[in-house]
Amino acid sequence: MGLLCFLGLIFGVFSYLIREAVGNLEPISFEMALEALDQRQFDEAKSIVGKIQQDEDAVHDFGRALFVLGVAKADEAENEWSGHRQRAMYLVAARYLRKALMLGIPDERIIQAKYLLGLSLIRGNQPTPGVAELEALVGEENIRAMDIHGLLVEGYRSLPQPDYAAALRHNQLLLDSPELKEREQLDAQLLRTKFLGKLGQFGEARKILQTVAKHSSRLPQKMHVSGRLALQEAQNQQEDGAARRRLVDAALADFDQALRLDGTRGVVTRETLYFIGVCHEVRGDPAAATTAYDRLSKQHPDSSESLAASFAKARLAQAAGDAERAIAGYRLVLERVRDPITYKNALLTMPELRRQLLQAQIAFLENQQFEHAIALIDQLQPAFDAAEVTELRGGTQQAWGKILIRQAADLERLQRRAQERAGRYHLRIAGRALESLAHMQYATPKFTEHLWQAADNYFQGQSFTHAARVLQEFLYHETRKHQAMALLRLGQSQLALRQIPAAVATLEECLELYPGDAVVYQARLECCHAHVQAGNPEQATQILLQNINGNSLKTTSPEWRDSLFALGELYLNTGDYEAAIDVLDEAVRRYADAPQALMGRYNIAISFHNASKKPAEMARVAKTESERQKNRKLRDRNLEEALRNYALVQRILTKNGQGENDKLDRMILRNCYMMQGSVLFQLKRYQEARKAYSNISTLYVNEPFVLESFVHIANCWRRLDQPIKAKGAIEQAKLVLQRFPPETDFKLATNFNREQWKILLNGMSSW
């Protein structure tokens, strides 16, 4: 019991002493964290801030807390060995400090926060806002002038568009600082020579180099800068003459000496190896330049200079025509870029990298190497944002599609159709890319313009469903630009999709709202087609006559020409054959070389052929011989004109070889042969009719249509009183029918299926 009482007494005494000690301790506060910062005890400062944040009774001052964290993070970034991680940490520090300034910090800490914010922005690869922050602090007494000017020199040379004049000004202010040590003065003078070289002041730069030459510790740097000055002066020469070659030789000599003198094998060696390659490029020796770049890549593979060398090798490979190697090189460089925000390379800055990549893309397009252009675009994401890459992809696919379609005009018919299909495929891809781009930039003025480009590519690519959808979205959002053309394209797309009522409504809206627009003439043509398909030939005729009889459209315009051909075809379809013949005859005489001229002549033949039916019927029912003879002459005259025009179309197609590959031309040629036989049969010239039908049986022996020609040949033989030959033609037809494969679809070209043909031919054999 005594032992237990003794232990309890000791415990009570210690508890009392501990309570008294803790009670006398000063409570943690932000002042303690700031004091730790001043003593460069950054971990302690962060620990204090963390304890304050965990204490529910403490007063939370987020501005001072973020200030402490920002200062600590800036110190942590300064000690980071990786350049990429260092820049990332500086950006974190900058965010802390900017937020701290917004929330409020003690007045005596504002200058310090702004200075560290500017420093963190510049070191974090955000020089533009960093320079603005530090310029506002120039002349402040609480910060050393040499620190401000040194950072501003770094900031101005790191801008996307470096301001070497401003960097030179702050460099001079830095050199004027009495606190600058000798080593720092030498570095500042060498940097000054580089700025002078960039500004073309080579004489002044060399004078400064003469003063640096007295210090042996800077001889490698001095020779390196001397070589760069000579190289820059050579690049400024307008022509590749003797002076330029001497300067390049001098640069190479200086670079060789810099390599021998640099025992550290550090930045000077790496940059020197890179500029040796540049010298060989300037001399016009890409092989030697590639060798120099290879040497740098092998000796220092993970350096920023090696990345610049790899890009230069890819650029040289592209110039030499080795696109595959160039693409591989560009891919290697872009994989190493990682994050463009923290990317930093003195020899290949991000703006320069982007500029040269765009030049490479343009070179691929100019050489029509579209596959390689697309392959390069697929790798651009690190250096370009998604919208930029999508815009490049859309533009490249559009150029690819248009050039394929343009080149198709010089090809044979079959090859032309295949290439046009390929071109339209790429235009549809371009439309998809540009539509995606539009929605990426929904809140920008470019939204509707990209929608219009997407719709145009969809339309040119004959993707009418997508074209109609995007055009409707465009018309919903845009109220001023491209309105008439958008309505025309929408109507054309709806017409192609067989949405006839919608097409009529859209095209009539275009005609009503924009009567003075240039597209109204094409809109009338399309509205005519829509009314024809809707079963309104009268409205279609009136619309076409507005184009033809109006005063504003010249006869040389494509719309007037197309309207004339369309009117003739409309008269043909409505049974007004005389009007069709007059209009189509004028059209083919005016526009003999037009694409519609051949079909126009064919329609003239059909019009004469159909026009012969009425007098033939009138001759049959005529009550007097004179009336009968009159109608027979009119019938025969129309048939002769039809025969002449069928023969003319046939000769044109046969002479130009148009009936060999194109389905439409082949069908027209086949019909010409058949119609000539029909006309000759009607004229009772049975022997000539039989020969015309025989042409079909010879030329189209592998098509079901040939069976009809054998039937007509048999009819001709019967009219010639040759029943045996007529039966022989039927037997030949039966043999041809047996040769057709089982899967042949006879309904596509004839009125009967296989079984019906068997029944018909067997029946005719028994006649």
Give the burial class of 643: count Cβ atoms within 10 A of its Cβ; 0-12 exposed, 13-18 middle, 19 or more buried.
buried
CATH number of the structural domain spanning residue 161:
1.25.40.10
Give the burial class of 585: count Cβ atoms within 10 A of its Cβ; 0-12 exposed, 13-18 middle, 19 or more buried.
middle
766 and 657 within one domain: no
Assess if residue 756 is contained within a domain: yes
730 and 621 within one domain: no
pLDDT at residue 55, rounded to an integer: 65
Helix (H) or strand (E) holding 167: helix 164-175
Q: Which of 683, 718, 750 is the last residue of a domain?
A: 683
Tokens of 144: 């050393």
| Contact assessment for residue 231 and residue 276, using Cβ atoms and an 8 Å cutoff | no
Q: Which residues, given as ranges, of the chain have pLDDT below 70? A: 13, 15-28, 55-60, 213-217, 657-662, 767
Backbone angles phi, psi at 374, to 5 degrees: -65, -40
Assess if residue 311 is contained within a domain: no
How is residue 266 annotated by DSSP? S
Residue 599 structural domain = 554-683
Q: Which of 683, 710, 741 is the last residue of a domain?
A: 683
726 and 589 within one domain: no
Assess if residue 645 is contained within a domain: yes
Backbone angles phi, psi at 321, to 5 degrees: 90, 5
pLDDT at residue 22, rounded to an integer: 45
Q: Which of 683, 706, 722 is the last residue of a domain?
A: 683
Assess if residue 457 is contained within a domain: no
HSE-up (13 A, CA, CB side) for residue 266? 5
pLDDT at residue 25, rounded to an integer: 42
pLDDT at residue 56, rounded to an integer: 59
HSE-up (13 A, CA, CB side) for residue 174? 26
pTM, rounded to two decimals: 0.80
| Total number of domains constituting the chain | 3
762 and 633 within one domain: no
Assess if residue 280 is contained within a domain: no
700 and 678 within one domain: no
For the CA atoms of the chain, what is the radius of gyration? 44
d(Cα 573, Cα 561) in Å, to the nearest integer?
19
Residue tagged 């990209």 (tokens): 450
| Contact assessment for residue 118 and residue 134, using Cβ atoms and an 8 Å cutoff | yes
| Contact assessment for residue 544 and residue 562, using Cβ atoms and an 8 Å cutoff | no
The one-letter code for the residue type at 615 is P
3-class DSSP state for residue 136?
coil
Contacts of 249 (CB under 8 A, 6+ apart): none
Residue tagged 């004839």 (tokens): 750
pLDDT at residue 436, rounded to an integer: 94
d(Cα 231, Cα 197) in Å, to the nearest integer?
10
171 and 65 within one domain: yes
561 and 638 within one domain: yes
710 and 585 within one domain: no
pLDDT at residue 766, rounded to an integer: 72
3-class DSSP state for residue 294?
helix
User: In terms of Cα–Cα distance, which of 394, 424, 421, 420 is closest to 407?
Assistant: 420
Maximal CA-CA distance, the chain: 160
626 and 588 within one domain: yes
Assess if residue 585 is contained within a domain: yes
DSSP string, 85-138: HHHHHHHHHHHHHHHHHHH---GGGHHHHHHHHHHHHHHTT-HHHHHHHHHTTT
713 and 565 within one domain: no
708 and 663 within one domain: no
Assess if residue 502 is contained within a domain: no
The one-letter code for the residue type at 522 is Q
Assess if residue 712 is contained within a domain: yes
HSE-up (13 A, CA, CB side) for residue 409? 5
pLDDT at residue 659, rounded to an integer: 52
The count of residues in the chain is 767
CATH number of the structural domain spanning residue 679:
1.20.1440
Tokens of 422: 């390929």
760 and 633 within one domain: no
pLDDT at residue 24, rounded to an integer: 43
